[in-house]
Amino acid sequence: MSAVAEPRPASGAGIRTEHGTGARAWAWLRERLLALWAVLAIVYLFIPIFVVVAFSFNDNKGRFNLTWNGFTLRHWEHPFRVAGLGPAMRNSLEIAAISTVIAVALGTLIALALVRYRFRGKAPLDLFIFLPLATPEVVLGASLLALFLTVNVATGFATIVIAHVMFNVSYVVVTVRARLEGMDLHIEEAAQDLGANEWTTFWKVTFPMILPGVAAAGLLAFALSIDDFVITNFNAGQTVTFPLFIYGAARQGVPAEVNVLASAILFIVVILMVLNVLVQRGRARRAFGRAAPAPAPATS
Amino acid sequence: MGGRLSLAQRRKLLPYLLVAPGVAWLVVFYLIPALNQVYVSLEDGNIEAGYSFQWNWSTYGDAVSNYSEQFVRSLGYAGVATLLAFVIAFPLAYFIAFKAGRFKNFLLLLIVLPFFTSYLVRTIAWQTILKDDGFVVNAFQTLGLVSEGGRLLATRTAVIAGITYNFLPFMALPLYVSLEKIDKRLIEAATDLYASRGTAFRKVTLPLALPGIFAGSLLTFIPAVGDFINAQLLGTSRQYMIGNVIQSKFLVVTDYPIAAALSFLLMAVLLVAILIYARALGTRTLVESAA
């Protein structure tokens, strides 16, 4: 990360207008300060993460896991030994999976309509899709619970799924839409000109093109769902999810096993990211291997 | 269904069919609940005897007079946290967009990565970090930033710091996206035309980054105003925000009318604020691009 010095024409342009060694020293210092600030900001982002991971290895005595007391692997050996943690995690995963599938389907269809077609009511629809994103979670959760109370629906697993789909649809629309907007409409027209009907065109042409956007939206929706506390808390009834379990435990001291699961999720994400980079590098190498013998990843 | 319809008719109908399921979901589980809140807020009664609709507008008077303190505090905390997040995130986003070279994607990953740990776990980790007699408090006391016997946990500082931390990526990422889009030749052109670096930054970079500043500050401010986790875990009842009140009125005290009134007021205040903000920033961009 120390390689920030870069002789670029931009800095040459700077010297042309700013004379003297004082100005040059200031420019040099400014670049270093900027890099330092960026590093400090990232360190700030990682401080609590470091604590979470470290305390998953803490040999704590008693209920509380607040003071460092030596290294142990015992929490990692049986993370689900803590009563209720396993079922809570399973609920979270199931809710995230179901609500993601529904939200992605509903949101992708809306995104397709918004980008592909001109129709009456499009502008108000745009605003309407934006509204849930501009509403604080506590309002979304509270008002949905008020509705369930008004119409006498018992809250539980199903109402959590309903709530998660509701707050995820708009995120999916925004994400898929961003991907669709940069795309060439003419390919679809070409497919239809060549005799494909709308259905075939969708599955053979449109869907493969939007798949990366849909996948990104799915990942986002899954992540938002599995980590949601506020809206879930309002609409959970007796069902306990992973965040609700943590919240309940927070009063009596969060067991180190929660840190284990949180760290494990983080490690899995890191591994997936590294694999993704390696796969893409491999693909780039295969694609450009013949043409360029030393295929450094193209500087973006 | 479409056998008898002509292609043109089908084309016209198709967008509505595409949006129908998703929009129906949002109408039933977002719009109707939002309006239902007004209905609930006008009810009168108590949890034992049940609530009935009464046009009981006095609930709104009570809501404003009893909880204006928490309202103002929420807006204040969220405002300060948004500003802090901007101050921290702008140089970071600027560095990644203009100076990071081939480390660009790596640094972006580093910004997102912490947020794959649970929100609650992260905030509880801040409890551990800021706890009394902990390393941070002791260091701050030695530096004289915290008085002897003073604390960090359970203070306004801790709550605002927690909010700033938790919503930082929502500020950093939109800022990065808008800075990244800027054509660097425009900045070079400005300095070539004898604008100082400071002037080029003020007149070129900053106006072009406005969409990111707008999106980032909204994405930080909105969840920050409604947040109650940070106030609850890092503060005391003296730092409670409007979210804490709504949550406890709904789930603990079960006073539904006042909870619904507060929740509706929060939503209304935010929507008005967003409109004013959009107007203010929008017109400024127009003026600046015309000048």
Q: What is the ipTM of this complex?
A: 0.87
Domain limits for position A175: 82-257
Report, as ranges of residue numbers, the positions in chain B whose pLDDT lies below 70: 1-4, 282-291
Q: Structurally, how many domains does chain A consist of?
A: 2
Half-sphere exposure of B112 (CA within 13 A, CB side): 14
Kindly report the nearest CA distance between residue A288 and chain B, in angstroms: 19
B 262-281: CB under 8 A from A: 263-264, 266-267, 270-271, 274
- Neighboring chain A residues of B21 at a CB cutoff of 8 Å: 105-106, 109
The tokens for A256 are 């180190």
- Print the SS3 string covering A196-237: CCHHHHHHHHHHHHHHHHHHHHHHHHHHHHHHCCHHHHHHCC
Domain identity same for A89 and A208 = yes
Compute the distance between CA of residue A188 and CA of residue A196 in angstroms, rounded to an integer: 9
Within-domain flag for A199:
yes
pLDDT for the residue A8: 46
Within-domain flag for A163:
yes
Asked if residues A134 and B270 have their Cβ atoms less than 8 Å apart, the reply is yes
**Cβ–Cβ contacts within 10 Å for residue B106, how many?**
12
Domain identity same for A131 and A161 = yes
Dihedral (CA of A206, A212, A218, A224) sign: negative
The tokens for B210 are 């406005």
Domain identity same for A190 and A42 = no
Is this model's pTM higher than 0.90 or not? no
The tokens for A276 are 């993704």
pLDDT for the residue B45: 76
Within-domain flag for A295:
no
pLDDT for the residue B215: 87
The 3-state DSSP class for residue B284 equals helix
CA of residue A45 relative to chain centroid, distance = 16
The residues, ordered by sequence, that sit 6+ positions from B82 with a Cβ below 8 Å of its Cβ are: B167, B171, B217, B220, B221, B224
Q: Which residue of B has its CA nearest to A255?
A: B121
Within-domain flag for A16:
yes
B22:A106 CB<8 A: yes
pLDDT for the residue A127: 86
For residues A139-157, b (16+ Cβ closer than 10 Å) or e, as one string? bbbbbbbbbbbbeeeebeb
Q: What is the CATH number of the domain that holds A246?
A: 1.10.3720.10
Domain identity same for A163 and A107 = yes
Domain identity same for A127 and A246 = yes
* Runs of H (alpha helix) within B144-255: 156-181, 184-192, 197-200, 206-226, 229-234, 242-251
Asked if residues A79 and A264 have their Cβ atoms less than 8 Å apart, the reply is yes
Q: Where is the domain boundary, A50, A76, A102? A: A76
Task: Among B77, B99, B118, pick the best mutation site for testing chain A contact (most A Cβ within 10 A).
Answer: B118
Is CATH 3.90.1640.10 the classification given to domain B66-290?
no
Q: Does B258 touch chain A (CB under 8 A)?
A: no
| Series of mean pLDDT values for 10-residue runs along chain A (300 residues) | 44 49 83 92 94 91 80 88 91 96 96 88 88 92 93 94 96 88 78 83 85 89 93 94 92 88 91 85 74 47
CA of residue B145 relative to chain centroid, distance = 28
